[in-house]
């Protein structure tokens, strides 16, 4: 992007003092706390634009979809922001006109408001919404969603396979992002009909997995299912209930026994009994 299109930084020095005195304006949204790729600052040379207009960060076997938003905004002194930053997912008109954007690979982001961290789920830029509507990204769902997880899942479904990075195990490099987006889209509930345990607390979310229904690496929503540790283990007994895996599942069952399916707990208890008898 041309330098002439960059914002001039009035957040410091004489200009900042003048604006505060003259208009009561100060910069109160400062650098956000972000979970960046590998905890490193993203190198622009590794940012690619897909054929559908979305941005990804790619580096070897890594690939993540990026959200973009302005680093700083003016807000009235002693007042609330007239509007929070919006996030961008495609190279829309706003992205082309301005250049000072921060990148994130998750939502919501934590923004500093007058020195206090505020967690905000930003809304989708109107220009981005118009552009992706024109590309028919959301035709199937009837409207253009602003939810970050719907955006991730829909972009993945509309990205040609040759533009995706795949690992040696067959999973897409985007899988951690896809899995998080899907689990949030179902409210962090286990989707097994006879379970439905909610694992929405931050320290519980690792106990909810995203399962491929047909055993393939097809990442369309209809092929995904959120399953708790126990339900997922019972789907993959040969993998998750052998060796160390069974002890991890046992710890999960001990933590949440009262909230789990009685039938599945009984099935697991029998497995543990048989395992212990085998090594007695």
Tens digits of per-residue pLDDT, 20-72? 554 444 333 333 333 333 343 556 677 787 877 777 878 788 888 877 666 54
- Residue 50 and residue 256: Cα distance in Å, rounded? 42
Smallest CA-to-CA distance from 64 within 48, 51, 53 is with 48
Residue 148 lies in a domain: yes
Residue 16 lies in a domain: yes
Q: How confident is the model at residue 229 (pLDDT cuts 50, 70, 90)?
A: very high
- Residue 176 has what DSSP assignment? H
Residue 174 lies in a domain: no
Quick one: 164 and 226 in the same domain?
no
- Residue 180 and residue 174: Cα distance in Å, rounded? 10
Torsion sign over Cα 77, 78, 82, 86: positive
Quick one: 143 and 102 in the same domain?
yes
- Residue 226 and residue 199: Cα distance in Å, rounded? 11
Length of the chain counted residue by residue? 280
Domains held by the chain: number: 2
Residue-level pLDDT at 213:
93
CA dihedral in degrees (93, 98, 100, 105; nearest 10)? Answer: 0
Residue 178 lies in a domain: no
pLDDT tens by residue, 58-91: 878 888 887 766 654 444 444 555 556 677 777 7
172-196: average pLDDT: 93
Quick one: 8 and 101 in the same domain?
yes
Quick one: 201 and 111 in the same domain?
no
Residue 175 lies in a domain: no
Over the Cα atoms of the chain, what is R_g?
23
Quick one: 156 and 262 in the same domain?
no
Whether the predicted pLDDT of 3 surpasses 70: no
Residue 275 lies in a domain: yes
- What is the domain extent for residue 246? 186-280
- Residue 29 has what DSSP assignment? B
Quick one: 70 and 203 in the same domain?
no
Quick one: 161 and 242 in the same domain?
no
Q: State which of 137, 168, 199 marks the end of a domain.
A: 168
């Amino acid at each position: 992007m041309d330098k002439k299109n960059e914002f001039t930084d009035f957040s410091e020095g004489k200009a900042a003092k003048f604006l505060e005195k003259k208009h009561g304006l100060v910069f109160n949204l400062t650098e956000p706390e972000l979970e960046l790729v590998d905890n490193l600052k993203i190198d622009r040379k590794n940012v690619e634009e897909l054929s559908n207009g979305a941005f990804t960060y790619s580096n070897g076997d890594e690939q993540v979809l990026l959200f973009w938003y302005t680093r700083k905004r003016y807000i009235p002194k002693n007042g609330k922001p007239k509007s929070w930053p919006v996030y961008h997912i495609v190279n829309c008109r706003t992205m082309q006109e301005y250049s000072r954007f921060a990148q994130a690979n998750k939502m919501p982001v934590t923004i500093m408001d007058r020195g206090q961290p505020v967690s905000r789920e930003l809304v989708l830029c109107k220009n981005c919404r118009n552009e992706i509507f024109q590309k028919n990204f959301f035709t199937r769902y009837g409207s253009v969603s602003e939810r970050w997880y719907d955006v991730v899942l829909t972009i993945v479904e509309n990205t040609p396979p040759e533009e995706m990075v795949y690992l040696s195990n067959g999973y897409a490099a985007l899988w951690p992002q896809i899995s998080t987006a899907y689990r949030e889209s179902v409210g962090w509930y286990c989707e097994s009909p006879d379970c439905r345990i909610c694992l929405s607390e931050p320290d519980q979310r690792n106990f909810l997995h995203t399962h491929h229904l047909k055993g393939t690496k097809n990442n369309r929503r209809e092929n995904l299912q959120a399953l708790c540790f126990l339900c997922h283990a019972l789907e993959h007994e040969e993998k998750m209930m052998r060796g160390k895996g069974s002890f991890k599942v046992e710890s999960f069952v001990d933590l949440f026994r009262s909230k789990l399916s009685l039938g599945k707990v009984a099935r697991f208890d029998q497995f543990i009994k048989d395992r212990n008898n085998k090594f007695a």
